[in-house]
A and B are shown apart, each in its own frame.
Chain A
Amino acid sequence: MKVAVVVQRYGQNINGGAELHARYIAQRLARHGDVEVLTTCAADYVTWRNELPPGVESVNGVQVRRFRVKHERDPLVFSKRSERVFQHRHSFGDELDWLDAEGPTSPALVDYVAKHAAGYDFCLFFSYRYYHAYYGARAAAGRAILVPTAEREATIGLSIFQPLFRSVRAVMYNSPEERAMIHAVSGNHQVPGVVVGIGSDVPNNAQAARFRQKYKVRGPFAIYVGRIDENKGCGELFDYFKGYLQDPAGKLSLFLVGTSILPVPEHPRIRHLGFLDDADKFDAMAAADVLIMPSYYESLSMVALEAWALGRPVLANGRCDVLKGQCLRSNAGLYYESLGEFIGTLEAIEQNRWLAGTLGRNGRLFFREHYDWPVIERKYLEMFERLKKEPAPRSADPLPGWFERRRQNLPPAEAVLAGLPKGPVGRRA
């Protein structure tokens, strides 16, 4: 079995969510077959500048083939086109222009996929919203398997992606919420799909005491792991935690792990540890009383899964359907939607040891049942086997003609998004 993993960036030091997801999957599937990664020379997801050399190299035993990006992203142009397609009535051509402005525009990668797709059994395309996935999946429609990593944001409302979801051979979803959203927006119920997610290499011997000794930590604390960014909900987290600090009964401190883009408040009980290596990160999570996940938009929170794997409860932002759904399905985390709920849930976990322990145990069980690597690998391999038995569908629909592309008949993407069903899927999945 030969599989191509097509992703916008790839490398040992590239730790974006979808990129890490693709790397983990490539490395795991490499144990079961021949895997080749097709990616760009870009390392920065904002500019898509060609930083890595084109050609073939090996990363952790997986062959990686890089292609140059045709042009970098122009933030001004991208911003204008985003505003047009997200907020105004627009045309199909406007959306294609937006996709081109977003990048990473690598026609060489798409050409390679079109020419060599027959040499692979399947091509796994990560992140539906990028140039490589849209054109690459069209080029290899009969072998394309999409890993959308879709979040609840306006991009999902663009019309160009609806045929994409319907034309691929299969879709590997990250969560039931993501599947429900894509079903609703594209009506691709007939496309084989399975909720897979991603595993994590969580060590079995995470040492909480070592972390406490190394960083001179005393007392209970909550932890946030990830980029400290307004888009990740950290601004709201800081506001809420300051509210929690007003409560004299609360003893938790807040530890932040990750690169900071947002200024961290100056407070003795809010501590920024910066970027930690994996060992320290897992030790810190094992030492924490609770992991806080304040993000509004997640297709799957790997950090939350890692916390569960370590037997730690999670406190998630309830306005993120995926996180809320994960908490409900796992019975391993609480969620908040207001300051009062944030304080109440944090106090509940802090003051009720039995509750925190039970949530942690449920989380560990949930991780083992659904996100342990053997489970993930099995789901991929079963999907491959299933698709091998089924006949390949016809190729993707051709793009609209010149006049059709310029017809201003598409609704704003944000309006489409607003019409999609909301809320967690719950235990139905």
Chain B
Amino acid sequence: MPDFNVRSESVNVEAIMEQIRERIREKRGVDYTEQQIRELADVKLERFLDPRGVRSDLLDQFRKAQHAAEPPAPPNYTFEDNTLFETHREPVRWFRKLLLPFLKLLFNPNPLIQALNIQSRLNTTNAQNETARRGLDHLYYELIHNLVIETTRLGIEVKNLKMQLESVSSRLEFNERRARALESVVVYKAPEPEERPAPRPQQQPQRQQPPVHAQTSPRHSHQQAAPPPAPAAAAPAPAPGGPQEADASAPGAAAEGPGQRSRRRRRRRGRRGGGSAAAIMGAPVGGAAADAAAAVDANTSSEMDADRDEEADEPPDVEPAAHAPSESLERRPAELPPATDTHLRETTSPAEAPPAPAAEPAAAEPRNQSSPAPDPDAQ
């Protein structure tokens, strides 16, 4: 019993027994006592033996067999060769014996005696058979009664199992809906329409600029080349959200999804702790894997709730655009300066990338210096 819940050093047998009984009750569903099952079975028996159900007169027959008084034994007699001449009076017996030869002169009583003797034995055999048959009837009744009890028990069990199945199915369905909702809402949550500032027209040309750092920074391009698992297809939010996230990364902007904040916070913690092994080894796929893991992590509601709590306690997480180069390298596209970020989100490969933007070269150059060589496979 792996889930046996005994933790204290001094066990209490009564409590343990209660737990075991509780577990048995859970297994059995509704806990019917043997008496209750028999009562239910009795009720079922009446139904099963209803004239419309099984047989027109089965119930009556069984009732008669069970409740009717035992019929009297069929009359019988013993008939031996001297039965005809028996009497309790000694003189009469002597007289009959004396006259027997004379009687046999008149007619032969032997066939009559034999026939009656045989009949007597037949009567005895018949009575024995009748008794045995009556006993068998009782056995049949018991058999059917027990079958009905077992059928009732099974019926109850099936009903309980159906209820349990329905309950599990509904919970599963609910959990699936909840998971889908969390994936689409939390990870790629689009800001509320009223919070969205109007798109700035001057950013549109920047999107057409070729991303210089996209070619020189394979890490960022790889992050985009490896899309998030399912939500990317399910939620079309990233494209319209791009400008919003770019805005949010600007100083003073607060419209940022909680999942993104938590991801950023986790990444920062990782940097403090020395980073992942893949990052230390300089593997280019590390960023994508970390982001994918972060995206999956962000789907879990528990973490999300924890992040929300942390965010409530912390001051607004606004970082200046000009950060230390090493930190900038670790940033995800959402944290990049607006123009670069929006461009990266729209660019799927360096070959398709438009020319590098002229604006904000200072933010891109440090990344280029410290980035590893581009990995064509990663793209």
Chain A interface residues toward B at CB < 8 A: 327-328, 331-335, 340-341, 344-345, 347-348, 351-352, 354-355, 358-359, 362
Q: Is A335 within 8 A of B17, CB to CB?
A: yes
Q: Is B4 within 8 A of A345, CB to CB?
A: no
**CB of B1 within 8 Å of the partner chain:** yes
Docked Cα-Cα span, A345 to B20, in Å, equals 7
Docked Cα-Cα span, A107 to B14, in Å, equals 49
Q: Is B28 within 8 A of A340, CB to CB?
A: yes
Closest to A351 in B: B1
Q: Is A358 within 8 A of B13, CB to CB?
A: no
**CB of B10 within 8 Å of the partner chain:** yes
Q: Is B11 within 8 A of A355, CB to CB?
A: yes
Residues from 13 to 45 in B contacting A, C-beta threshold 8 Å: 13-14, 16-17, 20-21, 23-24, 27-28
Chain B residues contacting A351 (CB-CB under 8 Å) are 1-2, 4
5 CB contacts below 8 A, A to B, read A327-B13, A344-B21, A352-B6, A355-B6, A362-B10
Residue from B13, B14, B28 having most chain A Cβ neighbours under 10 A? B13
Residue in B9, B12, B13, B23 whose beta carbon sits within 8 Å of that of A344 in the complex: B23
Docked Cα-Cα span, A85 to B1, in Å, equals 48
Chain A residues contacting B24 (CB-CB under 8 Å) are 340-341, 344
Closest to B31 in A: A340
B150 CB to closest chain A CB, in angstroms? 14
The 4 A-B pairs with the shortest beta carbon distances in the complex, nearest first, are: A344-B20, A348-B1, A340-B24, A352-B4
Chain A residues contacting B10 (CB-CB under 8 Å) are 331, 358, 362
Q: Is A328 within 8 A of B14, CB to CB?
A: yes
Q: Is A358 within 8 A of B11, CB to CB?
A: yes
Contacts A340-B28, A344-B1, A359-B13 supplied; 14 other A-B pairs, CB < 8 Å: A328-B13, A328-B14, A331-B11, A340-B27, A341-B17, A341-B21, A344-B24, A347-B1, A352-B1, A354-B6, A355-B11, A358-B10, A358-B11, A362-B11
Docked Cα-Cα span, A200 to B10, in Å, equals 25
Docked Cα-Cα span, A347 to B3, in Å, equals 11
Chain A residues contacting B4 (CB-CB under 8 Å) are 348, 351-352, 355
B48 CB to closest chain A CB, in angstroms? 26
Chain B residues contacting A354 (CB-CB under 8 Å) are 6
Docked Cα-Cα span, A354 to B9, in Å, equals 9
Docked Cα-Cα span, A351 to B6, in Å, equals 12
Docked Cα-Cα span, A355 to B1, in Å, equals 10
Closest to B23 in A: A344
Docked Cα-Cα span, A262 to B264, in Å, equals 74
Residue in B13, B20, B27 whose beta carbon sits within 8 Å of that of A331 in the complex: B13
Chain B residues contacting A358 (CB-CB under 8 Å) are 6, 9-11
Chain B residues contacting A331 (CB-CB under 8 Å) are 10-13
Docked Cα-Cα span, A333 to B16, in Å, equals 10
Docked Cα-Cα span, A35 to B23, in Å, equals 54
Chain B residues contacting A328 (CB-CB under 8 Å) are 13-14
Docked Cα-Cα span, A344 to B237, in Å, equals 54
A384 CB to closest chain B CB, in angstroms? 35
Chain B residues contacting A335 (CB-CB under 8 Å) are 13, 17
Chain B residues contacting A341 (CB-CB under 8 Å) are 17, 20-21, 24
- Contact of A334 with B17 at beta-carbon distance under 8 Å, contacts A354-B6, A355-B4 already known: yes
Chain B residues contacting A333 (CB-CB under 8 Å) are 13
Docked Cα-Cα span, A362 to B20, in Å, equals 20
